[in-house]
Amino acid sequence: MNSANQSVKPITTKINENGNLEIGGCDLVKLAEKYGTPLYVFDEETIRTIAREYKKAFSSYPKVGLLYASKAFMTKAIVRILDEEGFGFDMVSGGEIYTAYKAGADLKKSLFNGNNKSFDELQMAVELGVGLISVDNFFELALLNDIAKSNEKKVDILLRVTPGIECHTHEYIQTGHLDSKFGFDLTQVDDAVELIVDEYKNLNLVGLHAHIGSQIFETSIYYDEVEILIKEMARIKEKYGIDLTHINLGGGLGIKYTEEDVPPSVFEISSKIIDSVKENSSKYNLELPEIHIEPGRSIIGTSGVTLYTVGSSKQVPNGKKYVAVDGGMADNPRPSLYQAVYTAEVANKPNIVSQEKVTIAGRFCESGDILIQETILPELEAGDILCFYDTGAYGYSMSSNYNRVLKPAAVLVNNSQSDIIIDRESYEHLVSLDVIPDRLKK
Ligand code: LLP
């Protein structure tokens, strides 16, 4: 069975009667006119469809926690959608916890994770009743125990471990290999467990947590990850008599940025995970654990596109043709950071057979601000609307105000309706946190 992460475009994308691209029943050219560009557009149907595919894919297994990795893209509206779909939230900062809380997420079903959580952030998680905290290191074990104690609570924790698996993704987004800044090395787990048992009486160890990497296409890697974690759980049971009931496998399922990308479906991933959990639990004589997963990109990536307006262009004599758009590395740093490749179409002329090789440049003051290197598109003119697919994950969430350019707005489309979910910044917003010390005032 296919799933929505295997499509380059949001599932409602089509060419409408005006000859323009349309998503969620909304004409992209009209959206650009109404809200301005750059504009992030999110298709609610694609988000809900993939969320339901995840639920269906794991429905045969008795105990599952589906957590959305908020870092991929989080706003209060997105929290509402995924909360309605029954998801909890994987959160990595006070800001993410606060957003989830303000939007009414079920924090009991959620998890706080990260390699250097602050006192204030841990305190906030404990006070607001975040269900699980994934403890990353020895420093945090002590800190969290103190916080739990002063709140007179016993906090359920997972230990974040590095299973020692390398996946074939960009090195910046690998996380499960041994030389990683995240989590306990497997050789450090015993020391951590002993501290919890002997000293940290306000911590209740319920399971293990790992995340191998992101934009993963190999399914076998999940099988291996489960095997390593379950073997470790069996070892802990044998040595300390502790029954660990939770196994959190992180996120990582890839999406299709270009036609060449062939990510597995949600169903292929879930069956690898479930098979491995069943086989290894029986092999090591453990009760079936509760499986948690934390997909981010595969939930939100495909649903989002970015609209840009074409502006200037430059033909290098005997060289490339550059066409510049009104956004770039500040609203999508992924091409310059990870050499990520995207697919674009012209929203106001999707039917024209492609005919020109162009490099799409951003508007920011860096030579490296290139959104797509040499792609074939219809001849572009100033005013054309370019639609970049698959910008839903790690686009807005990694955006900046580089060059003091305003962050774009984001709209949610569904059934021919469009609603703002993040306002466009204004120049007033931009200077709102600036302070001129009295001695510099004019
Ligand atoms: N869980 C943990 C512990 C993680 O560290 C991550 C992502 C996820 C879940 C979600 O992974 P996903 O399902 O989205 O692959 N900025 C990079 C991606 C960094 C991912 C970091 N961790 C990018 O734009 O490709």
CA distance 35 to 18: 19
Q: How far is the CA of 214 from the centre of ligand 1 (A)?
A: 5
Q: How far is the CA of 175 from the centre of ligand 1 (A)?
A: 9
> Of the residues 26, 167, 365, 387, which is catalytic?
365
- Atom number, ligand 1, closest to the C-alpha of residue 297: 14
How many CA atoms lie within 13 Å of 10's alpha carbon, on the beta-carbon side? 35
**pLDDT in single tens digits along all 442 residues of the chain:** 999 999 999 999 999 999 999 999 999 999 999 999 999 999 999 999 999 999 999 999 999 999 999 999 999 999 999 999 999 999 999 999 999 999 999 999 999 999 999 999 999 999 999 999 999 999 999 999 999 999 999 999 999 999 988 766 656 555 666 778 999 999 999 999 999 999 999 999 999 999 999 999 999 999 999 999 999 999 999 999 999 999 999 999 999 999 999 999 999 999 999 999 999 999 999 999 999 999 999 999 999 999 999 999 999 999 999 999 999 999 999 999 999 999 999 999 999 887 899 999 999 999 999 999 999 999 999 999 999 999 999 999 999 999 999 999 999 999 999 999 999 999 999 999 999 999 999 9
Instruction: Judge residue 367's burial from the number of C-beta atoms within 10 Å of its C-beta, 0-12 exposed, 13-18 middle, 19 or more buried.
Output: exposed
For a mutational test of ligand 1's pocket, the pick from 71, 174, 256, 303, i.e. the residue with the most ligand atoms closer than 8 A to its C-beta, is 71
The yes-or-no answer on residue 365 being catalytic is yes
Query: Are the C-beta atoms of 335 and 371 separated by less than 8 Å?
Result: yes
Pairing of strands 155-162, 203-209: parallel
Distance of CA 364 to the CA centre of its chain: 25
- Atom number, ligand 1, closest to the C-alpha of residue 113: 3
Give the model's pLDDT for residue 168: 65
Helix (H, G, I), strand (E, B) or coil at 131: coil
Q: How far is the CA of 299 from the centre of ligand 1 (A)?
A: 12
In the chain, the domains with their CATH numbers are: 4-42+303-431 (2.40.37.10), 44-300 (3.20.20.10)
Give the model's pLDDT for residue 165: 86
Is the distance from the beta carbon of residue 297 to the nearest atom of ligand 1 less than 6 Å?
Answer: yes
Give the model's pLDDT for residue 189: 98
User: What is the model's pTM?
Assistant: 0.97
Q: How far is the CA of 296 from the centre of ligand 1 (A)?
A: 6
Is the distance from the beta carbon of residue 90 to the nearest atom of ligand 1 less than 6 Å?
Answer: yes
Is the distance from the beta carbon of residue 136 to the nearest atom of ligand 1 less than 6 Å?
Answer: no
Name the residue at shortest CA distance from atom 1 of ligand 1: 250
CA distance 110 to 108: 5
Alpha carbon separation from 71 to 60, 79, 264 (Å, rounded): 28, 12, 22
